């Protein structure tokens, strides 16, 4: 809840970025010297996300059994979870640069990612585990940061940090490829 709350309050533009792209609202941002992606993300704050944020922090403070010593790792885990969640959503939304029907598909993928993130890691095995840690990186939104808190080893830290950096890099790459396509006059023509 904390990850989704932070994403919605501070980076709420991720939620409907595909629609913004398809409506051509990014055009006005292309003429300005500032980076486009941060402005698209920060252009909206979702009011209902405040409830997730407050409830998530309250649950962490009262029920998670955290102490002051675990606070830095908790904050790092939350930050990495936010990075993976928003990055995956940006990558899904960037499909709108190429596919006309990407708005609902991107939202469905983001919602499915959120749904998978709420399940315990023990239910994933085989192909489901592969999907939960790659295409829909639910495992890196919640499971890897929680594992880092439970067993703060260099391996768990490296996995969580690599996932955060990797998915953020992938999202920026896909988004910038899409913007390049968009600037050259490419418009989404195929539909899902």
Residues 124-156 pLDDT 10s: 888 888 888 888 899 899 999 999 999 999 999
DSSP per residue, 97-163: GTBTTHHHHHHHHHHHHHHHHTS-GGG--HHHHHHHTTTS-HIIIIIHHHHHHHS--HHHHHHHHHH
Whether 42 contacts 11, CB under 8 Å: yes
In this prediction, the residues of the chain whose per-residue pLDDT falls under 70 are: 186-192
CA–CA dist 25, 124 (Å, integer):
39
At 155 the pLDDT is 96
Instruction: Name the pTM for this structure.
Output: 0.91
pLDDT in tens, 105-131: 999 999 999 998 888 888 888 888 888
Res 65: pLDDT: 85
At 86 the pLDDT is 97
Residue 49 to residues 40, 77, 137: CA-CA distances in angstroms?
Answer: 17, 19, 21
What is the model's pLDDT at position 101? Answer: 82
Joined together, the tokens standing for residue 108 give 């469905």
Measure the CA–CA gap between 100 and 78, rounded to whole angstroms: 33
So what's the pLDDT on residue 190? 58
The 3-state DSSP class for residue 190 equals: strand
Altogether, the residues listed in the chain come to a count of: 192
Tokens representing residue 85 in the block: 């969640």
């Amino acid at each position: 809840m904390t990850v989704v709350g932070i994403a919605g309050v501070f980076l709420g533009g991720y939620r409907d970025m595909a629609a913004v792209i398809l409506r051509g609202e990014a055009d006005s941002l292309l003429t300005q010297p500032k980076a486009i992606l941060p402005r698209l993300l920060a252009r909206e704050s979702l009011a209902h996300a405040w409830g997730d944020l407050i409830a998530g922090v309250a649950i962490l403070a009262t029920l998670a059994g955290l102490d002051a010593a675990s606070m830095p790792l908790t904050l790092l885990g939350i930050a990495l979870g936010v990075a993976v969640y928003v990055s995956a959503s940006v990558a899904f939304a960037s499909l709108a640069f190429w596919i006309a029907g990407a708005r609902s598909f991107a939202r469905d993928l983001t919602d499915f990612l959120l749904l998978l993130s709420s399940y315990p890691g023990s239910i994933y095995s085989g192909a489901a585990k592969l999907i939960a840690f790659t295409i829909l990186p639910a495992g890196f939104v919640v499971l890897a940061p929680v594992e880092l808190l439970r067993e703060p080893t260099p391996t768990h830290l490296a996995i969580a940090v690599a996932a955060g950096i990797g998915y953020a890099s992938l999202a920026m790459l896909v988004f910038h490829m899409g913007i390049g396509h968009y600037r050259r006059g490419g418009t989404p023509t195929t539909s899902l």
